[in-house]
Structure 1
Amino acid sequence: MSDESKRPLVHFSPAKGWMNDPNGPVFYKGEYHLFFQHNPDNVYWDNMHWGHAVSKDLMHWEELPIALFPDEQGMIFSGSAFVDKRNDSGLGKEDSPALLLFYTSHDHKTMREMQCLAYTTDGKEFIKYDKNPLIGGKEHTPARDPHVFENKIIGGYSMCFTTEKAVVFYHSTNLLSWEKTGEFFLPEYALQGMIECPCMIEFEKYVLMMSMDVPETEFNKLPKEANAHSRTMQYFVGDFNGLTFTADKEQNEVLLVDYGNDFYAGTVFSNVKEKILIAWMGDFSDEAKAVNTEAEGFKGTLSFPRKLDLCKTGKGYRLHHEFYPCPKGEDGIEFVSNEEGKFLSDRIISESIKENGFLPATNYRVN
């Protein structure tokens, strides 16, 4: 823990105010940049901004001034970041590619959600695109959390975001003008509910992760190792044809990114070779809620970064997690261990990590 009795030492938390989803983790101009859903004015969800922090090593973070403020189009909901190396958007400079921030504008009065853009060429000052929104929306119709990635199948770029029942895909050649190309609807065996925060990851196959607000009527679909709770992350392994995602037919069971209570809205750094995952430790469990950080002026913590791999097992492809990097104390002793059968605080990571990912994220304590 830090000098503040309830502030974590190796998990990022805001200096003050509320934090939830991590947004747009990216490497830009020699630093890891992390944006996050943020209410700087109080310790509860409201009035969403994009907070901003940077790090050289993914352990020691410096919080910077707020990147994006609410405007006449609404609050600033979740999204992603993308470095426009080829300057296809025309928003960069000759000696400095633009860092593009794709986000959802949420009008809380009409419940209209639109996909918008901001950009920077120095990593500090952010300009909202003057032709926002990139993709419009309808009143009382969820459409949120754009995730942008390079399309290596047909060229150009793809964006996916969630509607109430599907993940929709769009394509662009300039990162500004977008056309719809497909939809992915949840299979019958999957957890059903409100979908948020999609994330497409390319391995030897593609993985589509998403966060879910799951009703209790769906709890019977959860794997027996999982804690029954309403907010979770599930994923699908499959193929991307440049237009849309298709899950493998062999997958016929729910696959969870994490089996604990407090792991939500996970996303990966968009331009780092390793697939580095970071998520919101949402304080959904009774144990986490009992740690009252509000009295110290902040609420919300992010998970420690994890390196993801896709491994082939007897049951099919599964995500495999490792801490990245493994933190060490001043005496050189590791806080945690990645070795199978060794203790991670008071919880064992066993052989099942290769098939099922991490067991409960809640209540991990550094030694």
Structure 2
Amino acid sequence: MQLHAWIGPRGSGTAELSMHIPPLDTVGLKTTETGITAVHYICDTAGAAQLKWNRDDTDCRAIYVFDPATVTDKGIEILYVDPITRRSNPNGPAGFRPPFGWMNDPNGFCYHDGCFHLFYQFNPTSLAWDRMHWGHAVSKDLYTWTDLPVILFPDPAFPGDGGAFSGSSWPAEGAGLDLFFTHHRHGADEVEVQCRARTSDLVGIDAEPEVLIDARPADARERMDFRDPFITRGPDGRLYMVLAGRNRAEALLFLYRQAEDESWDYQGVLYSEPRFGGVAAECPVLLPFGDPQDAGTSWLLIFSLLGSRSKVKNRRNVTLALVGRFDGVQFTPDLERELDHGPHFYAFQACNSPEGIIGLGWVANWSELHAGKKLESGMTWPRQLALLDAPDGSRQLSVLPYRIPGDGPTLDIAANDEPVAIPAADILEIKLSIPKGNDPLHMTLGGDIDLDLILSERSLIYRCADMDQRELDVPFTGVGGVRVLLHHGTLEIFDQAGEWSSTLACAFYGKTSHINIAVSGKAQMSVAARSV
């Protein structure tokens, strides 16, 4: 059995968590570090354990235990979560949420040995951003997740640092995964360095992380924004690393190539984005649609732009997706689209799988969080990305929700202004067919959630219970099919062809038990209430 706990002293004294498993002596886990710190304990003796701490001198935020031999099947067992870090929407069926604490970017998302592994930026000590850990969960179907132990912790050699920032994973030689991430070190000469940690058992790391790249290239703005390594197999069969950052004029993606001695050689700027000024690129993705060593293969490049502002589209921090050619030196785009047109979508990460390219993003927006809005964020529903031939002969990047699981009734509803009651569900999937000449589609959801949507040509207007009314520019023609997913505080809207989507966070958590839907105009609606 292993135990992870997060404790800290109240004041300048010592925090202590004592544990007693008869017939062993009582063990005291102690720390004098300022703030909340992780403490670990390993025990080979089975039996009932008694945990104690004095609330007057010890601030305990969370405790869980696990058996390394069975945790990938059974998950962690949570023993205590303090109200400061307790969530009203902990992990369950449907879109992923952490068991407690704060989360943001998906990291290291991969398909490995028959399972999807999701790592993520995680603060287990409160519901706000702080020193970053890597949380970890595993799933075989992308909608039921097993919570595993935290796998990366802030470096104790740098107290007060930003911790283990975002990154990716790659199959390790032999067994397990290599985790590539940015270590953010406050006060160091080089604030952001790129590291690798190996996990053979997919539960803990084998040894202390090693620094791979300890200085940024001259192209990067000094001392700022050089992070989020993404690993991919290149056209020559070697591994490549894409890093994100900026200079004073534009967002930049930097390219490194692994040498035969496993060092990393800088290749230059892979791609630059000048339209938003010197904002930082973050969370890059570079994946092939097929064999990376085939010269005819198209490549997918995704990155988010921290601080970008689109006045026309009424959004901040946009995420771009491009399809083009990658020759091992530069990326040349053939087409571009915004990956999502909603206000709560960022840091999308994807991987190749037996079913093609699949990914998910963070349902939040830094601009609103910095403005003081509270949000128990989660991940989007997984999305499949495919390159299709459009009717006009061009190519189109299609983004659609991964298959919706579960059982439950499906209701076919003609448009009317009278609300229709919907059965309880983990996931609601609403399919709308909008005919030519239809007035703006007005859909109202009442009961557990208070939400209004008005969809018309080039416009999506929405109002949620705790948010002001807002209008977004979306590439909707006013005619055709639309799919709406509602799950645990997240509303995701998709064009049926996958040409656009819009993600909205709303103040609703948990399983829907009382939903009313009314739709105006001439639209036809089908509602599937899925319980997983």
Would you call these one fold, judging by a TM-score over 0.5? yes
Q: Would you say 1:168 and 2:254 are equivalent positions?
A: yes
CA shift digits 1:164-195 (9 cap, x unpaired): 23101111155931111131343445776211
C-alpha contact 1:115 1:146 (8 A) present in aligned 2: yes
Matched, 1:239 2:379: no
Q: CA 1:6 to 1:49, structure 2 compared with 1: closer, same or farther past 3 Å?
A: closer
| RMSD after superposition | 3.2
Tell me which residue corresponds to 2:145: 61
1:341 and 1:348 in contact (8 A); partners too: no
Contact 1:26 1:32 in 2 (8 A): yes
Residues 33-90 of structure 1: CA deviation (Å, up to 9, x unaligned)? 1100001111111110000111121111111110000113651000001113xx3xxx
Q: Secondary structure at the match of 2:107?
A: strand
Give 1:307's aligned amino acid.
Q
Choose from 141, 166, 169 the match for 1:81. Answer: 169
User: Does structure 2 retain, via aligned residues, the 8 Å contact 1:105–1:115?
Assistant: yes
Partner of 1:336, secondary structure, is strand
Matches within 5 A, 1:91-106: 92=174, 97-106=175-184
Percent of pairs with identical residues: 29
**Separation in 2 of the partners of 1:285 and 1:232?**
11
Structure 2 unaligned blocks of 5 or more: 1-86, 217-221, 290-296, 412-426, 433-479, 487-491, 513-528
Select which of 142, 155, 161 maps to 2:225: 142
Report the 3-state secondary structure (helix = DSSP H, G, I; strand = E; otherwise coil) of the residue aligned with 2:187: coil
Which residue does 1:210 correspond to in 2?
303
Which structure has more strand as a fraction of its residues? 2
Distance (Å, rounded) in 2 between the aligned partners of 1:175 and 1:332: 58
Superposed CA offset, 1:79-133 (max 9, x none): 001113xx3xxxx3xxxx2311000010122361011001111211213456x21
Asked if 1:125 is matched to 2:213, the reply is no
Q: TM-score, normalised by structure 2?
A: 0.56
When residues 236 and 315 of structure 1 are mapped into structure 2, their CA distance, relative to the original with a 3 A threshold, is farther
Q: What's the counterpart of residue 296 of structure 1? A: none
Q: Which residue of 2 aligns with 1:309?
A: 386
User: Shift of the alpha carbon at 1:310?
Assistant: 1.7
3-state SS in 2 of match to 1:327: coil
Secondary structure of 1:359's aligned partner: strand
Cα distance change, pair 114–175 in 1 and its aligned pair in 2 (3 A): farther
User: Residues 242-262 of structure 1, C-alpha deviation per residue, up to 9 Å, x if partnerless?
Assistant: 2232223xx5xx620001011
* Whole-angstrom CA distance in 1 between matches of 2:352 and 2:148: 20
Matching residue of 2:186: 108
For residue 169 of structure 1, what is the amino acid of its counterpart? L
Any gaps of 5 or more consecutive residues in structure 1?
294-298
CA offsets 1:228-251 (integer angstroms, 9 cap, x no match): 222221122221002232223xx5
Separation in 2, partners of 1:35, 1:331: 34
Q: Which has the higher contact order (CA 8 A, sep 6+)?
A: 1
In the other structure, the counterpart of 2:501 is 358
Query: 2: distance between equivalents of 1:182 and 1:234?
Result: 21
Name the SS for the 1:255 alignment partner. Answer: strand
Count, aligned residues = 333
State whether residues 148 and 160 of structure 1, in contact with CA within 8 Å, keep that contact through their aligned partners in structure 2: yes
Q: Identify the residue that residue 277 of structure 1 maps to in structure 2.
A: 359
CA-to-aligned-CA distance 1:280-303 (integer Å, 9 cap, x gap): 10156879x99956xxxxx32011
Query: What is the alpha-carbon distance in structure 2 between the residues aligned to residue 100 and residue 41 of structure 1?
Result: 26
Q: Which of 338, 342, 354 in structure 2 is aligned with 1:256? A: 338
